[in-house]
Amino acid sequence: MTFTGAWAWHGFDRKVISYEECLRNLVSCACGNGNLLMNCGPMPTGELDPREADRLAKVGQWLQKNGEAI
């Protein structure tokens, strides 16, 4: 899945999907016996878009607490 609908970083004008949508995608994929790649396209500086990094961190925190359930 991509966070902005694109496979590369296209600037801050693109909307990033919500944390809740990230979790829905993850749980849906896990329930279907699949795995999920969360794609982050780096900015021209090589850094991650802070909005995408935030989503990854929150999903990581959720998985630490609930990962065994899925």
In tens, the pLDDT along 24-54 reads 999 999 999 999 999 988 999 999 999 999 9
pLDDT of residue 65: 97
* pLDDT above 90 for 10: no
3-state helix/strand/coil string of the chain: CECCCCCCCCCCCCCCCCHHHHHHHHHHHHHCCCCCCCECCCCCCCCCCHHHHHHHHHHHHHHHHHHHHC
Average pLDDT, the chain: 92
